[in-house]
Amino acid sequence: MSTTADHVARALRSEGIERVYGLPGEQTDALLLALEAASIRFIAVRHEQAAAMMAVGDARISGKPAVCLATVGPGALNLATGLATATLDGVPIVAISAQVDTSRQHRIYHQRIDTLGALAPTCVFSAALRVPETATEVVRLAFAEAVRKGGAAHIEVAPDVAGADTSAS
């Protein structure tokens, strides 16, 4: 049995991702462990905006989509400048951000922000990964849309979903 985060990391690897730029936080722990297990190098930055801009630079140089990662709330919103740059310049990147646990998303909670809504103007695609069995499908769709439309795709993942066991193939 694997976790949703394991499936996300394997899907990233199958898309050719060798590195992810980001700022770690407790809500991204499962994803960070899964990246390591999938032999994807995590390059830590001091600010999420730098992670997004590094992904844009990586994609421009390599000609392939690149990935950045942010934690919940203000951390995810700090990606906005890089995501807008990617979308306005037609550079395919995929941003993954954390969200508070699903059991807390219906109420006002520390650092809970509607990141899908807030980042929507900067992205060509945005989705919340809420069903563990759809992890691979959501990642593949994000990459497909980032390439097809030329710009940033965003995936939001809550820590309880990322850590959930799933038997999805």
Alpha-carbon dihedral 92, 94, 95, 96, rounded to 10 degrees: 180
Report how far Cα 114 is from the mean position of its chain's Cα atoms.
15
pLDDT at position 166, please? 84
pLDDT at position 10, please? 97
pLDDT at position 107, please? 60
For the entire predicted model, the pTM comes to: 0.93
Residue whose tokens read 């508070």: 100
> Band of the pLDDT at 169, cuts 50, 70, 90?
low
| Ordered alpha helix ranges (H), the chain | 4-14, 29-37, 48-62, 74-77, 80-89, 115-119, 135-149, 159-162
**b/e per residue, 17-32, with b = 16+ CB within 10 A?**
beebbbbbbebbbbbb
pLDDT at position 130, please? 92
Contact residues for 72 (Cβ-Cβ < 8 A; gap 6+): 25, 27, 97, 98, 99, 100, 111, 112, 113, 115
Q: What average pLDDT score do residues 121-135 get?
A: 96
pLDDT at position 104, please? 59
pLDDT tens, 18-71? 999 999 998 999 999 999 999 999 999 999 999 999 999 999 999 999 999 999
pLDDT at position 62, please? 97
Write down the mean pLDDT value for the chain. Answer: 93
Both structure tokens of 103: 């059991």
Report how far Cα 61 is from the mean position of its chain's Cα atoms.
20
pLDDT at position 31, please? 97
> Band of the pLDDT at 100, cuts 50, 70, 90?
confident
DSSP, res 29: H
User: What is the percent of the chain with per-residue pLDDT over 70, rounded to a whole number?
Assistant: 92
> Band of the pLDDT at 109, cuts 50, 70, 90?
low
